[in-house]
Amino acid sequence: MRVRMEDLIRTVREAAPLFRDKERAAKIQVKGAADFVTQVDFQVQEYVKARLEALEPEIQFMGEEKDNGAIDFSRPAWILDPVDGTTNLIHDFRASVISLALWQDGDVRMGVVYQPYTDEMFTAVRGGGAFLNGEPIRVSSAAHLREALISIGTSPYHKELADENFRRFTEVFKRCGDIRRIGSAALELAYTACGRLDGFFERGLNPWDFAAGVLLVEEAGGQVTDFSGNPVDITQAGDILASNGRIGGQIREAL
């Protein structure tokens, strides 16, 4: 396989100007409750898909804005969220990213999360560490939940979870230093990887939301599990709890 990290970086960076196309961002389709898609989502996905197919035409493609029923995870696959944080994009709340991961041999091997508004490129290669704009990053050193900054995910596509979610948010808030809500799981995982956040959790996420971000956190020395402490299945939708590895158990206890 000829894919290099430089190829992923170049591909997502070249797609990023589409984020600033306010006309496309204003063309909104409703997929479900609080679940929107814009022409930016479609345009970024089509651009990235075409570039990746030119690099390696045999690699499968899983994207948020397509039918992914035929993906065979015994073979390599790209996992893309063209705009993670579409609601943020619609409101010009500048916290949306492109998230791209390469799945191969039963694991995520490469991951990129690009924040075009700040020109921050988070990258990781399995066994090779995690980086922000080429500089190594590490998770935070917070040892106690009481001093931690935790980001919460409200699972807006699953309003039936609201009561249970907010009960959990309250318990975590009582025990931690403070909480945040950014609205982009991939970005929140990247921020956990570089130590801006000490942890992040959300229910009902999809592989394209977290595939690259999980690799970032793990390569930066952190830990990602489900809410019971089990390993995350990258190929399936599920719940995510990311931390610096020191406070994950304390967050689970609060949940």
- Residues of each annotated binding site for Mg(2+): 64, 81, 84, 209
Q: Do residues 186 and 99 lie in contact, with contact meaning Cβ atoms separated by under 8 Å?
A: yes
Residue 219 structure tokens: 């390569």
Cβ–Cβ under 8 Å, residues 123 and 111: yes
Q: Which amino acid is at 195?
A: G
Total length of the chain: 255
Phi first, then psi: what are they for 77, rounded to 5°?
-150, 140
Q: Which tokens is 186 given?
A: 């991939």
Query: Is 64 within 8 Å of 206 (Cβ atoms)?
Result: yes
> CA–CA separation, 221 vs 96, rounded Å?
24
Cα separation, 106 vs 75, in Å, equals 8
As annotated, the binding site includes 64, 81, 84, 209
- Angle value at C-alpha 144, between 190 and 176, nearest 5 degrees: 75
77/97 Cα distance (integer angstroms): 20
Cβ neighbors of 184 (< 8 A, separation 6 or more) are 84, 85, 88, 95, 96, 97
Nearest to 187 by CA among 165, 167, 216, 207: 216
Question: Quick one: tokens of 123?
Answer: 């990258």
